[in-house]
A and B are shown apart, each in its own frame.
Chain A
């Protein structure tokens, strides 16, 4: 398990506890008192540290290397039923954007999402979860296919942004994202969006125009990453923590702004501390919202979605 900088007190206590337990086993000294004392300290430390996480700490948790990624969620939720589908039918198969069909209970869903890698090799293979235009076009192809057969769509978002590459620009990164947003506003099947990690800007919204948008507790969603925001507005990379605060990018902030519908609670310490529990929460939330959305006619569904997004914005006059 990797620890983040602010989790170091927890790491220390967990190591102490382990040592204490070893001593208890290997010698005849009674350490149960000391152990329970450390255990108590550990619980206190965890409660204190995780209770009031700063915006930047949540950003760190959203990027935790042990955090479950999109395919982890899908495989856990759908089990053997998941069938991955590939390609945009015009250029290539983008490994940063995955998709496919799977079942939750008796119901089929079309799953789409950005995929990150778990080590150097797979991170490169997945392009760090930064999709190219063909990724967005693959996503749209799968959404249109789902629409054709009346299959609801679930999008799982985890991206530091759409890839800002030379070829991405040549192939129309802006157009690909714009097209997806446009088509998603009028897709005739339910769309459930879950932010499972990072939700950076157009790269996230390009698969994020959901009837309901849910955020796992320790994720972020905004117009720009705190680092880039710091670089542009403060002309330095040093202000990422202030930028994270200023952008109001946490799940709680986004809920308060009414830009998302629900926060999915994570286990204490983050999604990676109890993956099974996280998967279950995500699966339950998807099913619960689908059970409501499935009762709407296609027309009502689209009207409701359009109205939702048309009402976003704060201004005077």
Chain B
């Protein structure tokens, strides 16, 4: 006779009835720290234990930077075409469609104007989830138009880079977006309107070779990968082992290409502090 007697049978739930843990309830950072998703969101999508800055998109950055998440989106309806009829292993229009369905975004950048700490700010923010944040005609045009809006209304511009570089499927047209965005930044510079470049993980290729490195200040989030050639290409070309921390924000700060690194939590304060200082305005609380 046993001490305990099972009154009911063991597991009776059928496989179909079993419930999965809801997705996105937990987040695991690269160092293996587990964070509750809600807690992560409250902490500006930064893992509280190790400070890891999770990759986020325009949706989250707008929420972080605009007061009460109030903003007016600019040129939201611009979409890519397929001027070169580009085909690799997939057709470019199919890639675009898949990316749009997956991300619910029109392309790899969104621009908006709104109040940040009570003053107007134009933000163009790239979305890495959309074909690696690659820059084609739409990205170039939207950033150019965001700069135009800044110019016309005398509002500072912040561009948040998060991109693998120029979009191959638009080939030379993508390359010329480096020149196009630079034209607009030159016009902003002539007008004396501040332009801040925020480099986030990752900022490489054509973005680095244009607007990402052209800010009145260039700033970055901690631990972001920032470079012209990607680390794999550098390793393959030179045959050298890359030093620890190569092409991180900290590396760029040390080599003189960033003004400062700011944790995401302090981003809104730091951006506005700079603007008040450079525009010789009273500091906002």
Which A residues contact B (CB, under 8 angstroms)? 162-166, 168-175, 177-179, 181-182, 185-186, 201-202, 205-206, 209, 221-224, 229, 232-234, 239, 242-243, 246-249, 254, 257, 259, 306, 309-310, 312-317
Contacts and interface: CB of A to CB of B under 8 A. Distances in A.
B87 to A, nearest CB: 6
7 contacts: A178-B208, A182-B185, A224-B166, A233-B168, A246-B86, A313-B180, A315-B80
Contact of A310 (B172, B180, B208): B180
A144 B94 CA distance: 45
A243 B173 CA distance: 16
A4 B213 CA distance: 41
A246 B212 CA distance: 28
Nearest to A242: B88
Given A171-B255, A185-B186, A201-B175, A233 B228 contact: no
B213 A172 contact: yes
Contacts of B141: 313, 315
B223 to A, nearest CB: 17
Contacts of A248: 84, 171-172
Nearest to A248: B84
B210 A172 contact: no
Given A179-B213, A248-B84, A169 B173 contact: no
Most buried by A among B84, B185, B240: B84
B83 A173 contact: no
B209 A312 contact: no
Contact of B176 (A172, A239, A309): A309
Contacts of A165: 229, 234, 237-238
Given A257-B172, A315-B138, A166 B246 contact: yes
A247 B173 CA distance: 10
Nearest to B137: A313
A233 B186 contact: no
Given A166-B240, A185-B183, A315-B137, 10 more contacts: A165-B229, A166-B243, A178-B209, A181-B210, A182-B182, A182-B186, A206-B209, A247-B168, A315-B138, A315-B141
B168 A229 contact: yes
Contact of A169 (B88, B183, B213, B234): B234
Contacts of B285: none
A178 B171 contact: no
Nearest to A254: B172
Interface in B75-121: 75, 77-81, 83-84, 86-89
B171 A312 contact: no
A299 to B, nearest CB: 11
A234 B227 CA distance: 24
Interface in B202-236: 205-206, 208-214, 227-229, 233-234
Contact of B213 (A178, A222, A243): A178
B195 to A, nearest CB: 11
Nearest to B138: A315
A162 to B, nearest CB: 7
B166 A316 contact: no
Most buried by A among B166, B173, B179, B246: B179
Contacts of A181: 178-179, 182, 209-210
A222 B171 CA distance: 6
Contacts of B178: 178, 181, 202, 205
A233 B87 CA distance: 10
Contacts of B242: 166
Contacts of A243: 88
A205 B166 CA distance: 13
A234 B168 CA distance: 12
A237 B178 CA distance: 27
Contacts of B172: 221-223, 247-249, 254, 257, 259
Contact of A222 (B167, B175, B186): B175
A229 B138 CA distance: 21
A46 to B, nearest CB: 30
B209 A177 contact: yes
Contacts of B234: 164-166, 169
A245 to B, nearest CB: 9
A175 B207 CA distance: 10
Contacts of A315: 78-81, 137-138, 141
A313 B88 contact: no
B257 interface: yes
Given A178-B210, A185-B186, A234-B88, A223 B174 contact: yes
A205 B165 CA distance: 14
B58 interface: no
B168 A306 contact: no
